[in-house]
Amino acid sequence: MEHEREIMDVAIEAGHILLENGAEIFRVEETVYRISRHYGIDSGSIFTLSNGLFVTADSVGKEPFAKILHVPVGSAHLDRVAAVNQLSREIEEGKFTVSQARAELERIRNMPGKTYRMQVIGAAMGSAGFAYIYGGSPVDSLAAFIAGAILYIYILFVSRPHLSKMVASITGGAVATIASMILYGLGLGEHLDFIVIGSVVSLIPGVAFTNAIRDITDENYLAGVVRMLDALLVFFCIAMGVGLVYTVIQRLMGGVVL
Amino acid sequence: MNLFAQVMAALLGTIGFSIMFSVPREYYPLCGFVGGAGWLIYCLVLPHADAPEATLAAAILVVFLSRLFAVWRRCPVTIFLIPGIIPLVPGGDIYWMAYYIVRDQMELSADKGFEAVKIAVAIVLGIVFVFQVPQKLFRAVIGAAARK
């Protein structure tokens, strides 16, 4: 029988990876609970916030265990969520010892993300697609493809490493708007509005918004409300960034461009 | 033809988001399918209803398909749901809200802002209700499909 502490470390690490990479609170708690129960922890509690884990274990005849973990929320890596989910299922089927599970979690934590080039292409594809479905023409879509790529390069190299979330969203909205205006000024695209709408979509807080709804539905109100606030704030900041550029242009040019 | 182009754009856009969220590569086609199917329903319902109603219909399908594929491929529902729901997010309305604020047309701005809230509520309702459907039903559907 492995030491209780080792078991709890593995269970908590699984929860940590899930929470950090965009899983719902329900999945985090369920996974920690299942892994610890499979390895013989028969009593304990877990409480999860959007950025923290509180775990205790208190099995009969063993040392009580408690841990609080601060989990800063990173960008979503749904491949890691899927991998931990798979691991937890296989642990329950008895395919992993505690130390094997720990090694597997280590591997999942270090799974390489998508390359920068792939991410930029993804963002550009998203921008092009959404510029079109929100009402743009194919040419608008092409302009949004380029502006979306420019925005994502800005996100990767400037805002993600250096800026807070609010400033990143405001400046991101502004960068996308300026890029769209330049392209439009150069004659690429027919409707500036749809180019701008398309180009900013990679800033949309889709993970926070969807998870917030799921968490609130599961009655994890505290985590859900925090995530919803996060999503609304980001939406608001993007709109502010776009509006800011429009205001400046209007003051400078008397509204000719709009 | 235009409808086909709309659905393809939504499909490709959804795959773009799957890449950004690091969805495992083998799920790109299914994610795209979920996003495209949702947008197809939105486009089909929109001529007969207003935008929040069309969004609700589309959200119900998106969540249903996400749960179905999650059971089928034995992976978290999040993988399909998050990229698939994005075409329905009222990004356009939020943009117009900000645009009219800048142009000092507060009434139009409030209209667009309220429309965005209604659409967001429609998405919430879709997610809330379809997640109440018991998991057993999805297993049964997958089981029936596998027997064929």
> For position A175, what pLDDT does the model report?
96
CB distance A130–B24 less than 8 Å? no
Instruction: Look up tokens 């959404």; give the residue.
Output: A130
The 3-class SS string of chain A reads CCCHHHHHHHHHHHHHHHHHCCCCHHHHHHHHHHHHHHCCCCCEEEEEECCEEEEEECCCCCCCEEEEEECCCCCCCHHHHHHHHHHHHHHHCCCCCHHHHHHHHHHHHCCCCCCHHHHHHHHHHHHHHHHHHCCCCHHHHHHHHHHHHHHHHHHHHHHHHHCCHHHHHHHHHHHHHHHHHHHHHCCCCCCHHHHHHHHCHHHCCHHHHHHHHHHHHCCCHHHHHHHHHHHHHHHHHHHHHHHHHHHHHHHHHCCCCC
B125 is in which domain, residue-wise?
A: 2-147
Pairwise CA distance, residues A210 & B123, whole Å? 9
Residue of chain B whose alpha carbon sits nearest to that of A149: B16
List CB contacts (< 8 A) between A122 and chain B.
15-20
DSSP code, position B148: -
Give me the residues of A, 136-165, that contact B with CB < 8 A: 141, 152
Tell me the per-residue pLDDT of A42-89, one tens digit each, with 9 for 90 and over: 888 999 998 899 999 987 777 888 999 999 877 889 999 999 999 999
pTM as predicted:
0.91
Distances in Å between the alpha carbon of A30 and those of A25, A85, A96, A215? 8, 10, 18, 13
Q: Please check the confidence at residue A254 and state whether its pLDDT lies above 90.
A: no
> For position B1, what pLDDT does the model report?
57
For residue B80, give the nearest of B91, B93, B66 by alpha carbon: B66
CB distance A78–B5 less than 8 Å? no
Tell me the per-residue pLDDT of A100-156, one tens digit each, with 9 for 90 and over: 999 999 999 999 888 999 999 999 999 999 999 999 999 999 999 999 999 999 999
Give me the residues of B, 2-61, that contact A with CB < 8 A: 5-6, 9-24, 39
B17 Cα to chain A: minimum distance (Å)? 6
Residue A58 dihedral angles phi and psi, to the nearest 5°: -150, 65
Between A253 and B35, the higher pLDDT residue: B35
- Give residue A256's pLDDT band: very low, low, confident or very high (50, 70, 90): low
SS3 content of chain B, % helix, strand, coil (to 5): 85, 0, 15
> For position B114, what pLDDT does the model report?
95
Could you tell me how many CB contacts below 8 A there are between chain A and chain B?
162
> For position A3, what pLDDT does the model report?
80
> What is this model's ipTM?
0.90
Q: Please check the confidence at residue A163 and state whether its pLDDT lies above 70.
A: yes
> Bridge partners of A171?
none
Q: Say how many domains are in chain B.
A: 1
The 3-class SS string of A170-233 reads HHHHHHHHHHHHHHHHCCCCCCHHHHHHHHCHHHCCHHHHHHHHHHHHCCCHHHHHHHHHHHHH
> Bridge partners of A140?
none
CB distance B95–A196 less than 8 Å? yes
Any chain A CB within 8 A of the CB of B133?
A: no
- Give residue B104's pLDDT band: very low, low, confident or very high (50, 70, 90): confident
Q: In what order do the strands lie in the sheet with A44-49?
A: A44-49, A52-57, A65-70
The radius of gyration computed from the CA coordinates of chain A, to the nearest angstrom, equals: 22
CB distance A22–B15 less than 8 Å? no
Tell me the per-residue pLDDT of A192-239, one tens digit each, with 9 for 90 and over: 999 999 999 999 999 999 999 999 989 999 999 999 999 999 999 999
